[in-house]
Chain A
Amino acid sequence: MTKVFTIGAGTSAARAPRARADRPPWQERPSVAGQSAKGLSLGGVLAVMLVPLWIVVVTSLATPGAVNRAGGLVIWPDGFTLQAYREILTDPTIRTALIVSLGITVAGTALSMVVSVLCAYGLSRPRSPGHRLILVLLIVTMFVSGGLIPTFLVVTGLGGYGQWWALILPNAVSVFNILVLRSFYAKTSAELIDAARMDGAGDWRILRSVVLPTSRAVTAVIALFYAVGYWNSFFTVMLYMPTDSEKWPLQYVLLTYVNRGAGMPGSVNAGFGMAHAQTAPLSTQMAVVVLTLVPLLIVYPFVQKNFRAGVLTGAVKG
């Protein structure tokens, strides 16, 4: 980003001598009213977003007594303990689950991206044969589904029960993501592609050296969508390996912490006496939420970086 604006600064530094490094020099100084309105609205948005996050974090660190005094989620810190995190992170199954999750996310995202980018590029070319029919074929799957059991029967029929691929292949293609990619591809690089074609470049080369470099922002966003989908998925685990606890990914293991005792119908049998499970303390449940957010906080800056990269390439090529 700095690069872009250094270029700009060189051309019209005279117009705004005291411009901050972040502001393009051609942009006028914002009015006080405009600035404060902007500040206020963003501040409001931030407050609304941060308060619940705060509550979740505080509750995850709260002692049982504090949760009890609050009668639920804790708003003001009142005692401090890492017990909830210790309980989860010392579970021996967590480490394998983390590796499984990483593997599924990386492999799945890679596969999905290859398939989706190819498909989106193929459909983005104006004269690609039958693209309308194929699009209809794609869009139908967004709204029509055969249902849970039939899908399950197809996957198990192909031998997917208890297999890793059953967690990836059935959801490898998101039509929504393909449509977004396609719309960006179709729009952003039309002239560049024509130029490359004049130079005799084939589709593969155009995709590799023109389309992908000019749409890094959207590619990063779609990769994020896929990665988040794989990372958070638990429903497929429940279907295809519900009893293979040593193969469970992280989200599913964490889910068992959240749900502990929750659905146990204590009402049904006096004999449960000893079996009646204790419901998970709220602090454990909130610790799970926090642990779910951590990987996202790590990954998101990399996606953000591509937003700026997009600006840069746009500026240079433009």
Chain B
Amino acid sequence: MVVPAIVLLLVFNYAPLFGLLTAFQYYDPPAGVWNSDWAGFDQFRLLFADPLFWGALRNTLYLGLVQLVLFFPIPIALALLLNSVLSVRVRNFIQSVVYLPHFFSWVLVITIFQQMLGGAGALNQFLRSHDLQTWDITTNPGTFVLLVTSQVVWKEAGWGIVVFLAALSAVNPGLYEAAAVDGAGPFRRMWHITLPGLRTVIVLMLVLRLGGTLSVGFEQFLIQRDAVGHETAEVLDTYAFYYGITTGDYSLGAAAGLFKSVISLLLIWGANKLAHFFGEDGLYRR
């Protein structure tokens, strides 16, 4: 039963892995992978000697972890809140509005933020016209992490609840009724029935999210890199883009990408071990 999926992955994901070889070359596209000069580990040596690379890694980890803490619980909370709304019509309406921002491009999301909160945006023009101190939100490196996290929350939280709603609908309502009859209040019912019902999904999502810590959203940072400067907004993906792709130094970009892959795999492996430690299945059973 797994054969079709495996075949597709082998052809379209595993076969192109020969491209990883470029990380060990001075890759020259017209020459191709097979005729480029070999570099051994030179690209990695260059990478690890570059303070900008370590800066990008530091930013990525910091932004990724903050997003994990601040963003991850929100779709779950929102799903629970929505699920507790009794009116079907209200619930359906809210559901079908909150997921829409997911389909906005990052360019649009950031333009909207800039027009509302930017230095010439609605908020600051209001403050200016009342002779009040303006509030620098979109170009302040100090609060950049909060800015990008709120952008992610706004864009993705509504979309993120869909899986949890599916999980909630799989919880047997008979359990709630039985608990209510036994005298359990709404909070105890949530604690003892709803959350355990969601647990497997939450753990799965958490493990996957941890594995994706280093992928903090390339486009979002690419667009806002100039607003706060590269010292704050450079992440691994933008680093690989600017120092690998735009300069034609593809092998350095490939080396950065391979490094990121390896760390991500380690992270997800660790997250899975942690899940096992707490008696959860995580990605696979022990």
Contact = CB atoms under 8 A, between A and B. Distances in A.
Interface of A: 1, 4, 8, 11-12, 20, 22-24, 26-28, 38, 41-42, 45-46, 48-50, 52-53, 55-56, 72-73, 75, 114-116, 118-119, 121-123, 126, 131-132, 134-147, 149-151, 153-155, 158, 169-173, 175-176, 178-180, 183-184, 186-188, 203, 214-215, 217-218, 220-221, 224, 228, 232, 289, 292-293, 296-297, 300-301, 303-304, 307-308, 310-311, 314-315, 318
B78 interface: yes
B101 A49 contact: yes
B209 to A, nearest CB: 11
B100 interface: yes
A51 B12 CA distance: 41
Given A12-B177, A217-B167, 11 more contacts: A8-B173, A8-B177, A11-B177, A24-B173, A38-B81, A38-B85, A50-B97, A144-B261, A145-B13, A217-B170, A218-B166
B174 A140 contact: no
Given A46-B97, A48-B154, A180-B163, A144 B17 contact: yes
B88 A52 contact: no
A240 B104 CA distance: 25
B112 interface: yes
B143 to A, nearest CB: 18
A232 B94 CA distance: 23
A314 B169 contact: yes
B13 A147 contact: no
A310 B166 contact: yes
The A interface is mostly helix, strand or loop, or mixed, namely: helix
B134 interface: no
Q: Which 5 A-B pairs have the closest CB atoms?
A: A150-B19, A146-B16, A146-B19, A122-B1, A119-B5
A150 B95 contact: no
Interface string B161-187: 011011101111111110011000110
Contacts of B14: 141
B99 A300 contact: yes
A73 B115 contact: yes
Given A147-B19, A296-B103, A118 B4 contact: yes
Given A8-B177, A151-B12, A296-B100, A179 B283 contact: yes
B278 interface: no
Given A49-B100, A75-B122, A304-B92, A188 B170 contact: yes
B154 A121 contact: no
Nearest to B23: A147
Contacts of A173: 5, 8-9, 12
A215 B112 CA distance: 38
Given A187-B200, A203-B1, A221-B163, A143 B170 contact: no
B64 interface: no
Contacts of B40: none
A147 B104 CA distance: 26
Nearest to A132: B284
Nearest to B11: A154
Contacts of B11: 154, 158, 169
A210 B5 CA distance: 22
A121 to B, nearest CB: 6
A256 B98 CA distance: 27
Interface string B198-234: 0011001000100100000000000000000000000
Nearest to B154: A48
Contacts of A308: 169
30 contacts: A26-B180, A27-B180, A42-B85, A49-B100, A52-B104, A52-B112, A75-B122, A114-B4, A119-B1, A132-B285, A140-B265, A142-B211, A143-B268, A144-B261, A146-B15, A147-B20, A150-B16, A150-B18, A155-B12, A158-B11, A179-B208, A179-B283, A184-B166, A228-B103, A296-B100, A304-B92, A307-B165, A308-B169, A314-B173, A318-B172
Contact of B208 (A48, A176, A318): A176
Nearest to B172: A318
B124 interface: no
A52 B116 CA distance: 10
B96 A143 contact: no
B264 interface: yes
Contacts of B177: 8, 11-12, 24, 26
Given A26-B176, A115-B8, A118-B4, A149 B94 contact: no
Contacts of A46: 94, 97-98
Nearest to A311: B169
A310 B98 contact: no
A115 B109 CA distance: 34
B73 interface: no
A49 B16 contact: no
Contacts of A52: 101, 104, 109, 112, 154
A56 B169 CA distance: 33
Contacts of B88: 1, 22
B132 interface: no
